[in-house]
Amino acid sequence: MISINKSTFEKVNVLVIGDAMLDRYFFGKIDRQSPEADVPVVDIDTIENKLGGAANVALNIKKMNANVELICSIGEDETGTDFLKAIKENEIIADRVIVSNKRQSTLKGRVYNDKEYLLRLDRETISDFTNDESYVLLQKIKASIDNFKPDVAILQDYNKGVLTKANIPEIIELLQNNDVKIAVDPKKDNFLAFKNVDLFKPNLKEISEALHLEIDASNEVNLKQTCLQLQVEIKCKNCLVTLSEYGVVCLDEAQNFKHFAAFKRNVLDVSGAGDTVISVAALFLALDTEIEDIAFYSNLAGGMTIEKKGVNALTIQEFVDELKVQGIN
């Protein structure tokens, strides 16, 4: 294993492509019922905006002291304005973000009564990119390759329309022709479209839904068979499968299989853990790290984020400190 410090990733350039969103948190208290209807009134104390989806992946990359560019789509709306403000504050390169007058920015609103999660409010456009929109996306990626010069690209799919069955093969071909490594965090709708990538990172539910399998996460033989079938279907060089409380498994081109148990954690919130896993995995992929080490490091990083409430990006200092606690660094 390589020694990790604050400067390990500072020369790594990561391009994140996919569905970004703004997470808006409304924190308040319920002290009364509405006079209009028999519903509680939440008196809001605080409103917080956080980057979500592909933007949270980009934030994780930035917090690990790497360089990151985000290509996504937002609308010409108030959410989009707040999104770009948060992107700028976190020093994420967003020169090629697509601003559309035909699509809404994705907003996930969450209402809390103290620590009690009451309600979620969504506003978004989830229709697939048209051919014209996909053409613009490809031109943005070409420009990033020419100017930002990424070492690795993360295709971050939340089935919100940026990545489609039609444009995914074109994006992969474009990146491969320019020697950019590719890591994928898929969702159900486009699962089987991500062929021939360097690293494919689904979770068990996504594999089960896409391949119509019943998977026993406690059975290593079953898990290896699942990874082998996944590799046949996707033709990926390496697969990394997250198993929630069972940790992660990985499989390389030579069909070497490895299972890493989950680190013992005080679980508060699993939101965003997958974003951290793909971020850390992509950073180590850019450094030509073996898949077993990629799986180990990303498993550790993902476990760290679930000890905090809400979506939180892992910092390089937190990661280095944890490695020392584990006696690894």
| Catalytic residue of the set 275, 288, 293, 321 | 275
Distance from C-alpha of 21 to C-alpha of 241, rounded to nearest angstrom: 24
Residue with tokens 């070409």: 142
Candidates 244, 206, 213; CA nearest to 229 is: 213
Candidates 61, 115, 128; CA nearest to 285 is: 61
Candidates 7, 5, 13, 6; CA nearest to 286 is: 13
Candidates 224, 151, 162; CA nearest to 193 is: 162
Q: Which residues pair with 13 in a beta bridge?
A: 67
Own/partner long-range contacts of 38-46 (Cβ < 8 Å, ≥24 apart): 40/113, 42/111, 42/112, 42/113, 42/118
CA–chain centroid gap for 281, Å, is: 11
Collapsing DSSP to helix, strand or coil, 77 comes out as coil
**Can 275 be counted among the known catalytic residues?**
yes
For residue 279, what are the CA distances in angstroms to 13, 311, 321? 12, 14, 18
Angle at 92 (CA atoms; ends 90, 95), nearest 5 degrees: 135
Q: Using an 8 Å Cβ cutoff, are 112 and 27 in contact? A: yes
Q: Which are the catalytic amino acids? A: 275
